[in-house]
């Protein structure tokens, strides 16, 4: 696992939670996918965000920490051999692939890659853009 990716927090009422995180905590919105049940907030200049997930859309939601990996599918296969309790098969997200798992104590984690966003251009610089499937 390379880095922290995002922190997912369940909320009962997304609109009330948005008001709290924006107006009480003073956090800046990173993205708003309210129609999908998610809103993300920046924490300083760090890339990882706090992402609120509406429990009305995500019924089994628990607080979850995601980590960035090079390749979700490869890491999934490797971790399966060590009897990690995955909640599903890897799935596609806007930026690549992801999958969640729980440790033996009921804590939830996930791994994600950025296979759809990292591209190297002809000058050798890395650019970021979402590829269309």
Q: In whole angstroms, give the CA distance from residue 59 to residue 6.
A: 19
pLDDT tens digits along 38-79: 999 999 888 899 999 999 999 999 999 999 999 999 999 999
Which residues partner with 67 through β-bridges?
A: 4, 111
Q: How far is CA 77 from the centre of its chain?
A: 20
pTM: 0.79
Query: What pLDDT sits at residue 116?
Result: 83
Which residues partner with 120 through β-bridges?
A: 126
Instruction: Give the domains, in start order, of the chain with CATH numbers.
Output: 3-128 (3.10.180.10)
């Amino acid at each position: 696992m390379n880095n922290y990716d995002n922190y997912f927090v369940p909320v009962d009422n997304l609109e009330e939670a948005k008001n709290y995180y924006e107006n009480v905590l003073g956090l800046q919105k990173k993205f708003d996918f309210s129609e999908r049940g998610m809103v993300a907030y920046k924490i300083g200049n760090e890339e990882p965000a706090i992402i609120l997930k509406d429990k009305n859309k995500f019924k089994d939601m628990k607080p979850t920490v995601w980590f960035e990996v090079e390749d979700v599918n490869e890491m999934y296969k490797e971790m399966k051999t060590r009897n990690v309790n995955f909640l599903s098969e890897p799935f596609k997200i806007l930026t690549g692939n992801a999958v969640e798992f729980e440790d033996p104590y009921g804590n939830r984690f996930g791994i994600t890659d950025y296979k759809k966003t990292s591209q190297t251009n002809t000058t050798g610089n890395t650019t970021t853009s979402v590829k269309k499937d």
